[in-house]
Amino acid sequence: MKVTPILCYNLAMVIDFHTHIFPPWIKNDRSKYAGSDHTLASMYSSPKAKMATADEVVASMDQDGVDISVVLNIGWSSNELYTATNDYIMESITCYPKRLIGFCTVPLQSPDTAIAEIERCVKGGIKGIGEIRPDPQRTDLINGEAIRSVIELIIKHKLVLLTHTSEPVGHIYPGKGKITPDVIYPLITAFPELKLVCAHWGGGLPFYALMPEVKGALANVFFDTAASPFLYNPQIYRQVSEILGADKILFGTDYPLMPQRRVIKEIKSLNLPGETEEMILAGNAQRLLGIDNGTER
């Protein structure tokens, strides 16, 4: 198994790279907003679909032993809510500066508006853009030129882009979407300097790294483990570590979809080499986000 040495990492730290928060006014009246947004309706219209506020994710972190969480927005299909929800994320990271790292969303289908929103959010302390959902956001990732100006600005500000990805086979679930490995790969090759996180194990993209040219193209690409117990056998951790390297895996839960402790327990049950477990639970995120012992460098 490939193991990359960890340097200057707080090995006791746990960083959840994939959580979602919503303002209380959306959580408490979701049906009102789901009527005008396809993404929200497809994933959260059911009262059984869990939503969380910033206070609730921090409470979960305290209970489950998570030091830092990346709090993501969603890929709104309309332009009406992204500004207000970005504001809530920026307010949340101000309230919890040592616990939460904010990613904001932008309307990819409107590049000029997206650029202005990125500049605004950078001033508000965000460290990335995501979770984008290119299909409901009506954005063609295959034609990278359509969003070149947006991606170049993300690179300029040294932000991380986190995108939803899904499997081209297997069961259907709310929000699965159609951003499969063949759809995301042209974006990767078009912008090799982009720091990209493909959620949910990249829809299986790491397995294509058995092809030398694909492995080379994934130099700046990472894969989070969000919702992994719903998608893959736990052996995926070993398989991806062997194929691509443990330094490419980011612990993520998709909280509040599932308790953070559930994914932590699964990882610890595998008896992975110590260096591998440490990289997955924190080290890789520290390196990607520029965090040293809980403090941004």
Q: CA-CA distance, 196 to 129, in Å (whole number)?
A: 10
Residues contacting 28, CB < 8 A, separation 6+: none
Please check whether residue 3 lies inside any domain of the structure: no
- How high is the pLDDT of residue 137? 55
- How high is the pLDDT of residue 109? 81
What's 238's domain CATH number? 3.20.20.140
- How high is the pLDDT of residue 225? 98
Please check whether residue 169 lies inside any domain of the structure: yes
- Cα atoms found within 13 Å of the Cα of residue 39, Cβ hemisphere only: 21
- How high is the pLDDT of residue 108? 85
Please check whether residue 80 lies inside any domain of the structure: yes
Spans of the chain, pLDDT less than 50: 1-11, 294-297
Whole-angstrom CA distances from 183 to 140, 188, 209, 223, 280 are 9, 10, 16, 16, 26
Please check whether residue 297 lies inside any domain of the structure: no
Q: What's the number of domains the chain is made of?
A: 1
Q: CA-CA distance, 38 to 43, in Å (whole number)?
A: 9
Work out the number of other CB atoms within 10 angstroms of the CB of residue 194.
17
- How high is the pLDDT of residue 138? 59
Domain extent, residue 65, equals: 15-288
Residue 81 falls in which region: left (phi positive, over 0), alpha (psi -120 to 50) or beta: alpha
- How high is the pLDDT of residue 5? 40
- How high is the pLDDT of residue 170? 87
Please check whether residue 6 lies inside any domain of the structure: no
- How high is the pLDDT of residue 185? 95
Q: CA-CA distance, 79 to 100, in Å (whole number)?
A: 25
Contact 14, 264 (CB under 8 A): yes
13: amino acid identity, one letter = M
Please check whether residue 187 lies inside any domain of the structure: yes
Please check whether residue 10 lies inside any domain of the structure: no
Please check whether residue 5 lies inside any domain of the structure: no
> For the segment 51-104, what is each residue's pLDDT rounded down to a tens digit?
999 999 999 999 999 999 999 999 887 777 999 999 999 999 999 999 999 999
